[in-house]
Amino acid sequence: MIADEVMKDEKYVLAKARSGSFTLRVTGEDGAVKTLHSIYDPEAEAKRLVRAFAFDGRGILVVLGLGLGYHVDELAREFPHTEIIVIEPVMEIYEIAKEHGPAISDRVKLLAGLSSEEALREITRYQMKDGISPVSVFVLKSSASAYANYYKPILNSLKNTMTVRLWDRLKYPKFVQDTLNVVLIDSGYFLVKEAEKALLSLNHKVRRVPVRKNDRGENIVSRTIEAILGAKPDFILTINHLGFDEDGALTSFFRSIEMPVASWYVDSPHIILTSGGRNISPFVSMFLWDKGYIGQIKDMGFESVSYLPLAADETVFKPMKNKGQGFKTRMMDYSCDVGFVGNSLVDQTKKKLEKLPFELYSLVEKAAARLSAERMSFDDLMSDMEENELMRYKALSAKQRLDTESAVLWKATLLYRLSCIKNLEGFNLRIYGDKGWEELSGAHSALNPPLNYYKDLPVFYNACKINFNATHLQMGGAVNQRVFDVPACGAFVLTDHQKGIDELFDVGREIAVFNDREEIPGLVKFYLDNPEKRGAVAKKGMERVLREHTYRHRLGSLINFMETKYK
């Protein structure tokens, strides 16, 4: 029996073992009392347990159960170069061990009081810090017995990565077959479907890895490992880097197994700009829809940064004028002289502003009004603000500055689109969008509910004489989706002039543009009065899109780049 209890509480009893050291009795999850260490000699017991533990010292050693720490102290001495992580669910045990157990080496990471899920997340983070390190587990059986419900899910999860062989199975030659295997990170973003369809049409194989906003990091890693083992991809494809974490853990993992990653940005590269370089890797190639970001991303340290604009899915957006009676009826319902499909951005702008301190609202309003009237870079815009406003902006954190930029761009776009719509007054105009348009323009009779992108929009584009486009100001010089989708339908689009449009289309012959909002009424009247000229531009535009600007073309270019770089 244990002699000389020196501390007692309802669940934890500290007592002297016969050797003079302390041992600990605990009341476990099931109400049963467990003794965590030998009642005779805890240190000698720890030495025997460690000597019997088959471990070569490689990778990460996860210890389940702290107790008073005798076995942890022995493991740290036996394996001086091994990263050791100790998981202990009970903070009271951790506090008792600090006071009455042996001193534990500073290099041992003690994780106490976490839930099973939180503990697993921390283990995954440590494991992927320098690549996917192999994991071994040392179980203090007495502690695992006392807290079986806590430790069981952790142990079951770790079994999937407790093998050095996993590393070898994740590294293999890439781009050795004509038919490629691609793992596509499926974030739910609209472009995922288009990318998959294009890859399949090019005779490649695709396996999706679903990723959602609230997914845990360890779940994403587990699914990715499963996909790699099952599909043996030649590279990973992600849209907007979605699925990747700002800490760069997934990037580090892919670098460690020499897995190429293609990230196609069709939106602001926010996660990259806020990750502080932790997602930079020679195995990550960036493809940007807007050339304006290329220098910025290269300056961050990315080696491979390429321009890859948006495109059209010609199997969805196509001419429908010669379709059956059902299509003709729908087109008659949509028929109008001028159509605009787009969000008013009223609600979105309010949400952007809610992220900012109230004292910044006036700065946002002033900057947005200026930007909506005169196109310029955000840096140039801010440098032209009054000194006190500029100083207030510079004093913000990096995240606050990005939030401020976002709020300015969205508010400016709202004002810009509204001014364009006002230049369309007097024409047979239909707006399809949110109710924010009523708040902005009062155009109740012209407002219609939003259209489904895949089912309704192609029909509307076919039915409308002039499809009007006002590009979101966050796109800088890039060309948005509508500029490709409308011509793919053999329909006519009038769009604002973007820097990127000149190398994509023969302006005036294949696409119609306005350089200033004051030109809008005259151009609309001209093309309404001259249907043969409108039809000629639409026909040439469709030919150009089908020849050069489909998603087959874009994914083909991306694959050629990846093969050349990583083969």
DSSP string, 114-172: --HHHHHHHHHHHHHBTB---EEEEE-HHHHHHTHHHHHHHHHHHGGG--THHHHHH--
> What's the chain's average pLDDT?
90
229 plus 244 within the same structural domain: yes
Question: Is pLDDT at 160 greater than 80 in this prediction?
Answer: no
Q: Say if 441 falls within a structural domain.
A: yes
Per-residue pLDDT, 273: 65
Query: Which residues face 137 on adjacent strands?
Result: 62
Which of 146, 167, 188 is at the close of a domain? Answer: 167
Handedness of CA 130, 134, 140, 143 (dihedral sign): positive
| Mean pLDDT, residues 518-522 taken together | 97
Domain identity same for 202 and 298: yes
121 within some domain = yes
The pLDDT of residue 222? 76
Output the pLDDT for position 324. 65
pLDDT digits (tens, 9 = 90+) for 373-407: 988 888 888 888 888 888 888 888 888 888 899 99
Q: Are residues 335 and 406 in the same domain?
A: yes
Tokens 């069981």 identify what position? 152
Convert 411-426 to b/e letters by CB count within 10 Å (16 or more is b). Answer: bbbbbbbbebbebbee
Residue 508 lies in a domain: yes
Higher pLDDT: 167 or 98? It is 98
- Determine the pLDDT at residue 5: 61
Q: Average pLDDT in the 294-316 region? A: 94
Provide the pLDDT for residue 1. Answer: 39
Does residue 318 lie in a domain region?
no
Residue 266: which of 205, 318, 311 has the closest Cα?
311
Among 127, 150, 167, the domain boundary falls at 167
Q: Are residues 332 and 236 in the same domain?
A: no
For 35, phi then psi, to 5°, come to: -100, 120
CA atoms of 273 and 295, how far apart (whole Å): 13
pTM confidence score = 0.78
Q: pLDDT band at residue 217, thresholds of 50, 70 and 90?
A: low
Same domain, 357 and 494: yes
Whether 120 and 193 map to the same domain: the answer is no
- Tokens representing 44? 């000698």
DSSP letter assigned to residue 331: H
Determine whether 145 is exposed, middle or buried from the number of CB atoms within 10 Å of its CB (0-12, 13-18, 19+).
middle
Does residue 13 register a pLDDT over 70? yes
Residues 272 and 279: their CA atoms lie apart, in Å, by: 7
- 180 and 146, same structural domain? no
The answer to whether 549 and 312 are in contact (CB under 8 A) is yes
DSSP state of 550: B
Which of 246-255, 278-287, 485-494 has the least mean pLDDT? 246-255
What is the arithmetic mean of pLDDT over 93-112? 93
Q: What is the pLDDT of residue 3?
A: 46
User: What is residue 376's predicted lDDT score, i.e. its pLDDT?
Assistant: 85
Question: 535 and 496, same structural domain?
Answer: yes
Which among 78, 225, 254, 236 has a CA at the least distance from the CA of 163?
225
**Residues 69 and 105: beta-carbon distance below 8 Å:** no
CATH, residue 94: 3.40.50
Instruction: Assess whether 468 and 347 both reside in one domain.
Output: yes
> What is the pLDDT at residue 4?
59
Is 320 domain-assigned? no
Q: What is the pLDDT of residues 323-374, one digit of tens each?
A: 666 667 788 889 999 999 999 999 999 999 999 988 889 999 999 999 999 8
pLDDT tens column, 103-144? 999 999 999 999 998 998 888 778 776 556 778 999 999 999
CATH of residue 299: 3.40.50.2300
190-208 residue pLDDT tens? 899 999 999 999 999 999 9
Angle between helices 116-128 and 249-256 (to 10 degrees): 50
Q: Quick check: 164 pLDDT over 50?
A: no
Domain boundary among 118, 146, 167: 167
Q: Which tokens go with 305?
A: 């940064």
How many domains in the chain? 3
Say if 197 falls within a structural domain: yes
Residue numbers of the domain that contains 84: 3-167
Q: Tell me how far apart the terminal alpha carbons of the chain are, to the nearest angstrom.
A: 68
Same domain for 302 and 352, yes or no, is no
75 pLDDT above the threshold of 70: yes
Same domain, 155 and 177: no
pLDDT of residue 130: 59
- Count the Cβ atoms, other than its own, within 10 Å of residue 385: 16
**Tens digit of each residue's pLDDT (9 = 90 or more) over 416-430:** 999 999 999 889 999
What is the predicted pLDDT for the residue at 203?
A: 97
Q: Is residue 176 domain-shared with residue 144, that is, in the same domain?
A: no
